[in-house]
Structure 1
């Protein structure tokens, strides 16, 4: 199903692991960052169309004590270098049971990114590989696009309103909704 035709899109937020970069569980090592094929080009196309771009990422590696926030930030800087640049980064360092407002599928990071970008959440699309990414988008009033991987659960695909086969297809769908005066 396509994105809502009645909404103007002015920004796109991407999940980090398995969306922009190949997932290395609990990665906090910049040297292990490998972009998903086509990620740099997809982000570049979104930016060239006048969209604000950002990243919203759960990084429980910090809460688990497996890495410091500084290590995660260095890893994110490497993603920014290889795939970005991004206008905003929102990172949830909490674990699933911490009850924070930011951990996807909660809306906190999407709302924070919208505020940092000066956009209404309804003007954003969140692109990710699991149901929590789409859930965070919907909880914040944004739209979500699911790009399933081998790890995406069948029920997450079934529950998503918009599912595409690649990051490039997700950006194509977003770009089709960008107002002509913005591009």
Structure 2
């Protein structure tokens, strides 16, 4: 049996963009993220977070620091009745030859293989074009770019939809 999934980037989609965030005190959720995720669940979607975390490779924080903030974040979701199926992260730097750093589709492909995801019914929500490219490379055509993180080049974006933030996604994802 396959599942339909909402793939979310973390920084700029779930939380406000802060370069190399690794302290809970600096972690601020984007307005409307919990409501959007509860709506995804109501529509029958699983939620998976995929995130590049090059701050680990750069030495700005450790894998342990990343795991601490991730556990705290997941606890915040759980307290608000949101179940996150899984979190995948790439700890490598931009010059790495790994297959997991977006725009490469490695994290998405790993999730697909692990959970039997129906790509035609799934969505990717990110704040940079690399997330859209990774989704397309993994055969996810339903893509949303949000303006709540990085500046967006609207003329060259391959995103199917561009919205101000995750708060507006309910108008796009309705089944």
TM-score band, normalised by shorter chain: 0.7 to 0.9
| Structure-2 residue corresponding to 1:48 | 42
Give the drift of 1:131: 0.4
In structure 2, how many angstroms separate the alpha carbons of the residues matched to 1:58 and 1:70?
A: 15
After TM superposition, list the pairs within 5 Å mapping 1:21-100 onto structure 2: 21-83=15-77, 84-100=82-98
Cα distance change, pair 38–56 in 1 and its aligned pair in 2 (3 A)? same
Deviations 1:140-160 (A, max 9, x none): 001321112363232576443
String of CA shifts for 1:155-181, please: whole Å, max 9, x gaps.
Answer: 57644332122212224312x2x2xxx
How many residues align? The count is: 169
Contact 2:8 2:126 in 1 (8 A): yes
Q: Assess if the C-alpha contact under 8 Å between 1:10 and 1:51 holds in 2.
A: yes
Gap runs ≥5 in structure 2: none
Distance of aligned partners of 1:38 and 1:119 in 2 relative to their CA distance in 1, 3 Å threshold: same
Q: TM-score, normalised on structure 1?
A: 0.83
RMSD across aligned positions (CA): 2.0
Confirm whether residue 106 of structure 1 aligns to residue 104 of structure 2: yes
**CA deviation string 1:41-78 (max 9, x = no partner):** 11111112221101000000111111111111111122
Q: Distance in 1 between matches of 2:169 and 2:158?
A: 17
TM-score of the two chains, using structure 2 as the length reference: 0.87
The answer for unaligned runs of 5 or more in structure 1 is 1-7, 179-183
More deviation, 65-74/146-155: 146-155
Q: Which has the higher helix share?
A: 1
